[in-house]
């Protein structure tokens, strides 16, 4: 028998009527179609924890990244860096070196990775460049380049701008008895000013305390006659505690111990500081810390920190340092 549209219409009306009766029983009578009250109906509502709802909402709006053991994110490519100067491509890694820094160190402080001048920048304005902050002796590998209260020690930025040495020669000539005690004669020649001193053990000659005397003889060949003869090479041991020098004056020989004067400056970015005039053996102040100038070499000068006895080599000022210094400091 062929079904007409009337047949389908009647079936649809019956189905909709049945659904209407079921919904009415559920919402208004509190009982299901078969008389049993469904769980969580209007008569037995379970309250939802507000904190749990908020936590769930946060998880839904900020989903966690899907990361594998190789730190590869789902649907995202791994990052690579291109180094044009070497024509190299390297996978992004915290340890890969960018310029003079590990990439991770630059990312940690949100420093510009692609800026070639990042090493000489001073984002926190404390006078220390990023490379100085990174190379500081802080146990955690560097100080914080974006915190002006966190910076390397000032001694690390100290440089020798000028160095002057003056002639000072000692010559131990004779020893003689005076009232039963040994008295030692020493000539001191300082910039054409010659003086003679006669001192006993425990006394000082131009800052050098006499510690002891060791008589010695040696057979040497005379350069004029070629014959062998006995020569007095007795030793006078002396010490200058300020210079931290303990040395020996050999009788008849000249000992050169020059005086040293150094002009020191802080090589900091745009920080004007008065130069420090330091003399050998004298104490000078550096930003509230005390140091003593000990000696000099072709590389710079050696100083010692008074409270800790740490020794530091202060290097000579370089052209790179001069680019950091303000013009006022350069002209002094």
- What is the three-state SS of the chain? CCCCHHHHHHHHHHHHHHHHHHHHHHHCCCCCCCCCCCCCCCCCCCCCCHHHHHHHHHHHHCCCCCECCCCCECCCCCCEEEECCCCEEEECCCCCEECCEEHHHHHHCCCCCCCCCHHHCCCCCCCCCHHHHHCCCCCCCCCCCCCCCCCCCHHHHEEEEEEEEECEEEEEEEEEEECCEEEEEEEEEECCEEEEEEECCCCEECCEEEEEEECCEEEEECCCCCCEEEEECCEEEEEECCCCEEEEEECCCEEECCEEEEEEEECCCCCCCCCEEEEECCEEEECCEEEEEEEEECCEEEEEECCCCCEEEEEECCHHHHHHCCHHHHHC
Q: What is the reported pLDDT for 328? A: 45
Mind listing the pLDDT tens digit for each residue in 206-238? 999 999 999 999 888 777 777 888 889 999 999
Residue 198 near residue 183 (C-beta atoms within 8 A): yes
Residues 248-287 pLDDT 10s: 999 999 999 999 999 999 989 887 788 999 999 899 999 9
Domain ranges of the chain: 1-43, 80-152, 156-164+259-331, 168-256
CA separation for the pair 79, 89 (Å, rounded): 10
Beta-bridge partners for 204: 209
Give the pLDDT confidence score for residue 135 in this predicted structure: 87
Average pLDDT along the chain:
80
Interval 237-248: pLDDT, tens? 999 988 888 999
Query: Mind listing the pLDDT tens digit for each residue in 149-168?
Result: 999 999 999 999 999 999 89
Segment 293-321 shows an average pLDDT of 91
Q: What is the predicted pLDDT for the residue at 122?
A: 93
* CA dihedral of residues 239, 243, 249, 254 (deg, nearest 10): -160
- pLDDT higher for 91 or 178? 178
Distances (CA, A) of 164 to 89, 243, 316, 332: 51, 16, 13, 16
- pLDDT score of 319: 85
- Beta bridge partner(s), residue 89: 82
User: What pLDDT is attached to residue 45?
Assistant: 57
- Give me the pLDDT at residue 201, please: 95
The two tokens of residue 87 are: 């024509």
Q: Evaluate whether 250 touches 235 at the Cβ level (below 8 Å).
A: yes
44-50 long-range Cβ contacts below 8 angstroms, 24+ apart: none
């Amino acid at each position: 028998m062929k079904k007409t549209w009337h047949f389908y219409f009647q079936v649809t009306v019956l189905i909709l009527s049945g659904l209407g009766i079921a919904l009415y029983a559920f919402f208004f009578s509190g009982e299901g179609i078969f008389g049993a009250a469904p769980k969580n109906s209007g008569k037995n509502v379970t309250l939802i924890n507000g904190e749990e709802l908020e936590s769930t909402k946060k998880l839904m709006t900020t989903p966690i990244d899907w990361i594998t053991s190789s730190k590869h994110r789902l649907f995202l490519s791994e990052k690579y860096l291109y180094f044009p100067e070497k024509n190299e491509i390297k996978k992004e890694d915290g340890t890969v070196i960018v310029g003079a820094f590990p990439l991770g160190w630059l990312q940690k402080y949100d420093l510009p990775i692609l800026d070639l001048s990042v090493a000489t920048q001073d984002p926190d304005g404390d006078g220390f460049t990023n490379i100085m902050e990174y190379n500081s002796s802080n146990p955690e590998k560097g100080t914080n380049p974006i915190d002006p209260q966190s910076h390397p020690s000032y001694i690390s930025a100290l440089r020798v701008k000028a160095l002057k040495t003056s002639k000072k020669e000692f010559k131990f000539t004779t020893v003689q008895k005076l009232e039963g005690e040994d008295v030692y004669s020493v000539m001191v020649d300082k910039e054409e000013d010659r003086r003679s001193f006669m001192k006993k053990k425990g006394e000082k000659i131009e800052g050098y305390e006499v510690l002891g005397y060791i008589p010695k003889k040696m057979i040497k060949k005379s350069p004029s006659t070629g014959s062998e003869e006995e020569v007095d090479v007795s030793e006078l041991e002396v010490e200058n505690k300020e210079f931290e020098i303990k040395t020996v004056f050999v009788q008849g020989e000249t000992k050169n111990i020059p005086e040293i004067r150094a002009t020191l400056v802080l090589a900091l970015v745009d920080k004007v500081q008065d130069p420090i005039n330091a003399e050998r053996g004298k104490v000078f102040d550096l930003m509230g810390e005390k140091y003593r100038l000990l000696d000099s070499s072709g590389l710079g000068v050696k100083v010692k920190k008074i409270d800790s006895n740490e020794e530091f080599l202060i290097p000579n000022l370089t052209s790179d340092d001069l680019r950091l210094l303000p013009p006022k400091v350069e002209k002094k």
